[in-house]
Amino acid sequence: MLLLAHRGASADAPENTLEAFTEAVRQGADGVELDAMACGSGEVVVCHDERLERLAGQPWEVRTTPWWKLARADVGSSLGFAPARIPLLEDVLDALPAHFLINIELKCDRVDDGGLVASVARIVRERDLAGRVVVSSFNPLCLFRLAALAPTLRRGFLIDPDKAWAPQAYVVSPLVSSHSVHPFHEACTPERVAAWHEAGLRVAAWTVDDPRRARALRELGVSYLITNRPGRVREALRDAAPEAGPPGMTAA
């Protein structure tokens, strides 16, 4: 089971910043999960929230705010860390070590993605990172669009725990997932994980910081564990028996 740092090592550094991704490397993660969003001037920024009230105490809406303005926002202090900045997706990909796996979540809940899918596909292609990237989203339209634009890029559907399970898991996911399915960890049962494996899909469970739960998910054959605390979870798993299950995604 591979550990992906959720928005970087976000328990110990401001989420989705270069500082958080650097901390994930230091803590021994196998990769990162990050959020990609198109801003008002078209660049792809790494940010989770649609508006910056929580992160920066600003009312700015990311999708309508230009990059030059977003680049000024301090997204560290409001979270209790040192000042930090929103990075561009290109800067994050260039900063990560060559062995790291990268789960790019497309943040868009609209039909019009503002060019997000096309931009992410281009950025990944230009860096020849397809072998290290899986692209996920709660929005199946984004994954349909990605399949048309970049069919070889690995896709994973995020299952929303606040919506009906069956349509997402048994109708939408088989249509848009080419590599993995991404359920909330409490939705991972032995029967469901086995069925996903039978369908040829890896399972990426989120978001798990409890070592006991991490060990249980490893026993189920979960491939990727998304965690805010990769160092702590790694330490808890280190002395346990080698996990079973399908092989993880390997770096190109």
Q: Does a structural domain hold residue 207?
A: yes
pLDDT score recorded for residue 66: 98
Q: Does a structural domain hold residue 76?
A: no
Q: Give per-residue pLDDT as tens, 213-241.
A: 999 999 999 999 999 999 999 999 986 65
pLDDT score recorded for residue 247: 43
Q: Give per-residue pLDDT as tens, 171-205.
A: 999 999 999 999 999 999 999 999 999 999 999 99
pLDDT score recorded for residue 190: 97
Model confidence, pTM: 0.94
Q: Does a structural domain hold residue 74?
A: no
Residue 204 to residues 2, 112, 200, 225, Cα–Cα distance (Å): 9, 27, 13, 6
Q: Does a structural domain hold residue 71?
A: no
Q: Which band of pLDDT confidence, cut at 50, 70 and 90, is reported for residue 72?
A: very high
Which residues touch 210 (CB under 8 Å, ≥6 apart)? none
Tokens 């054959």 belong to which residue? 221
Contact 228, 206 (CB under 8 A): no
Q: Which band of pLDDT confidence, cut at 50, 70 and 90, is reported for residue 98?
A: very high
Phi then psi dihedrals of residue 244, to 5 deg = -100, 180
Q: Is a pLDDT exceeding 80 seen at residue 252?
A: no
Domain that includes residue 10, residue range:
2-34+98-238
Q: CATH number for the domain including 187?
A: 3.20.20.190
Q: Does a structural domain hold residue 78?
A: no
Q: Which band of pLDDT confidence, cut at 50, 70 and 90, is reported for residue 145?
A: very high
Q: Which long-range contacts (CB under 8 A, 24 or more apart) does 196-204 make?
A: 197/221, 197/245, 197/246, 199/174, 201/173, 201/177, 202/156, 202/246, 202/248, 202/249, 204/4, 204/103, 204/134, 204/136, 204/156, 204/180
Q: How many domains does the chain have?
A: 1
Q: Which band of pLDDT confidence, cut at 50, 70 and 90, is reported for residue 106?
A: very high
Contact 52, 60 (CB under 8 A): yes
Q: Does a structural domain hold residue 212?
A: yes
Q: Does a structural domain hold residue 204?
A: yes
Q: Does a structural domain hold residue 47?
A: no
Kindly state the average pLDDT of the residues 22-37: 98
Q: Give per-residue pLDDT as tens, 80-92.
A: 999 999 999 999 9
> What's the full length of the chain, in residues?
252
CA distance 56 to 196: 39
Residue 252's closest CA among 181, 177, 153? Answer: 153
Q: Are strands 101-106 and 133-137 parallel, antiparallel or unpaired?
A: parallel
pLDDT score recorded for residue 240: 64
